[in-house]
Amino acid sequence: MIAILPSAADPCNLPFPLKNPKEPAMSDSGVKFQPRESIEQVEEGSDLAPKFDDRGLITVVTTDARSGELLMQGYMNAEALARTIRTGEAHYFSRSRQVLWHKGATSGFVQRVRELLVDDDQDCIWLRVDVEGGASCHVGYRSCFYRRVPTGREFGATEVDGRVDLVWTDTEKVFDPEDVYGDAPNPTIL
């Protein structure tokens, strides 16, 4: 989904990398992240001290809170994470457009966060969400993972000179992207 918020687009300004690594960093939406001081603090403590990469991003995986289905993988910058915490609705950072994006603001398929988890070293976020209308993929499917790659014996039986033939696991779109997005450019970059 490609709803775009007017926002400072540079992920590196917001607020990572830290100007002063010893000070907590306050996001624009008033959520504070702690500096990463020790392994014990990061792994066993109650501080939220997320590790953003050198582009200022952290990986996010999003599952359906009820079915457990993997819906999508994306990224957040510090402000997207802060807004998700503040509002209880999923915000991501679009790498193709370099903007913060409130998921579902255009399509109406907002992801309401039931649970936001962080992993042991705090470099990955897991969102468990309810999706109004039931779609998370801009292609129109419920999940971004609507095709599988045959493996092992099945691959051997279907390959032609090693070429992989994807198999659809979901054939029904929840919505028609043209109806929802019209002429907006596709976020998939070749």
Based on the shown chain and the rule CB under 5 A, indicate whether residue 137 belongs to the binding site for Zn ion.
yes
Specify the stretch interacting with Zn ion by CB under 5 A; choose among 22-30, 53-61, 132-140, 162-170: 132-140
**CB–CB of 111/102 below 8 Å?**
no
Q: Which is nearer to Zn ion, 11 or 177 (CB)?
A: 177
Q: Which is nearer to Zn ion, 31 or 126 (CB)?
A: 126
Structure tokens at 21: 């690594």
Give the SS3 label for residue 47: coil
Based on the shown chain and the rule CB under 5 A, indicate whether residue 42 belongs to the binding site for Zn ion.
no
Q: Which is nearer to Zn ion, 125 or 137 (CB)?
A: 137
Tell me the C-alpha distance between 185 and 190, whole Å: 13
In b/e form, how buried is each residue of 155-184, taking b as 16+ CB within 10 angstroms?
A: eeeeeeeeeeeeeeeeeeebbebeebbeee
Based on the shown chain and the rule CB under 5 A, indicate whether residue 14 belongs to the binding site for Zn ion.
no
Q: Which is nearer to Zn ion, 5 or 144 (CB)?
A: 144
For Zn ion, the binding residue among 61, 116, 124, 144 (CB under 5 A) is 144
For residue 134, give every residue at least 6 positions away whose Cβ sits within 8 Å of its Cβ, in sequence order, or none.
Answer: 109, 142, 174
Based on the shown chain and the rule CB under 5 A, indicate whether residue 78 belongs to the binding site for Zn ion.
no
Residues that bind Zn ion (CB under 5 A): 137, 144
